[in-house]
Amino acid sequence: MDADVPGQPSEELLEADPLLHRFTVVFDREGYSPAFLQRMKAQRVACVTYHKYPGDEWAAAEFSAHPVTLATGQVVEMKLAERGSCLSNKLWVREIRKLTERGHQTAILRTDYRSQAAPVAGAMFARWSQENFFKYARERYHLDRLVDYGTEAISDPLQVVNPDHRHLDGQVRSCTGRLNCRLAQFSAMNLEETIVTETGGAFVQRKADLQEEIESLQAEIQTLKEARKATARHISVDELPEAQRFRQLSTQSKHLIAAGPLREGQGPDPSAPRPAAGHRL
């Protein structure tokens, strides 16, 4: 499979340059493994991943601005710094860190010892667009179930969240947020100007109106909480209203399909009756 990757240097170039690699693999911190990085390096395959255990933060003075070209072609400015890092298995790698505007540091490890820091950062952060593509493709097109797109009714007594309880819970959260906002406004109201009849009266009226709204929200929240408490949190699927019932993907996923062209003398007799659609192995 390694030979299928395009653009690899020749064996002569690899032999002449011990730091040259065949190609680069980019993956998330879940794939972080010093032993794996060592094996890939032995095969002349460079790896780029997040440092799972970055340790202490680096001094902000180490970072400098670099232009980074994203996968879309857009050029952005990133604050980057680089050091050599020795992993637990004594493997020396390049560690490149990005400093965000909020002061957060993202640590990237790479066994490519030739490329500049900016392309390394661009390749790592371009991974998000690729992951999102496959994430939504799996959700929308069910890439792992391409043989069958059918659905069927849920026969098991599956427990689900009660839509009525979810609706009441959402109302409680919404009203609580509004109440907290009004309480903060009420606490922040101060009459700093000289009190005169007009100003004082307007101030008192605004505060009275706000107090009235706070009491109304408190009463509404109490009523909603009582209704939520009286509503079951979970119900079975068959208790859902007909319009809200959902279906599961068909369990008939192991269909008889052609995995590829058959060679002469292999496979079933073409004249034999074919199994009906949906026949399981």
What is the pLDDT, as a whole number, of residue 228? 93
Report the half-sphere exposure of 252 (CA within 13 A, side-chain side). Answer: 14
Sign of CA dihedral 162, 168, 170, 176: negative
What does the alpha-carbon distance between residue 251 and residue 150 come to, in Å, rounded to a whole number? 9
DSSP letter assigned to residue 91:
-
What is the pLDDT, as a whole number, of residue 152? 60
Tens of pLDDT along the chain (281 residues)? 577 888 899 999 999 999 999 998 888 888 899 999 999 999 999 999 989 889 899 999 999 999 988 777 888 899 999 999 999 999 999 999 999 888 899 899 999 888 888 888 888 877 777 777 777 777 777 666 555 556 666 666 678 788 888 899 999 999 999 999 988 888 887 655 444 545 556 777 777 888 888 889 999 999 999 999 999 888 887 777 766 666 655 555 544 444 444 444 444 444 444 444 433 33
What is the pLDDT, as a whole number, of residue 154? 64
Q: 262: which residues sit within 8 A by CB, 6+ positions away? A: none
What is the pLDDT, as a whole number, of residue 210? 85
DSSP letter assigned to residue 134:
H
Cβ-contact 65, 77 below 8 angstroms: yes
What is the pLDDT, as a whole number, of residue 132? 76
What is the pLDDT, as a whole number, of residue 201? 64
Q: Residue ranges of the domains in the chain? A: 2-131, 159-192+204-244
DSSP string, 28-65: -GGG--HHHHHHHHHTTEEEEEE-SS--SPPPGGG-EE
Burial tier of 96 (Cβ tally within 10 Å: 0-12, 13-18, 19+)? buried
Element (H or E) spanning 23, and its range? strand 23-26
Q: What are the tokens at 84?
A: 């050599």
DSSP string, 140-193: HH-GGGTT---EE---S--EEE-HHHHHHHHHHHHHHHHHHHHHHHHHH----S
User: Top-level CATH class of 2-131?
Assistant: alpha beta
What is the pLDDT, as a whole number, of residue 149? 54
Hey, what's the torsion of the CAs at 186, 187, 192, 196, to 10 degrees? 40
What does the alpha-carbon distance between residue 5 and residue 44 come to, in Å, rounded to a whole number? 13
Specify the pTM. Answer: 0.48
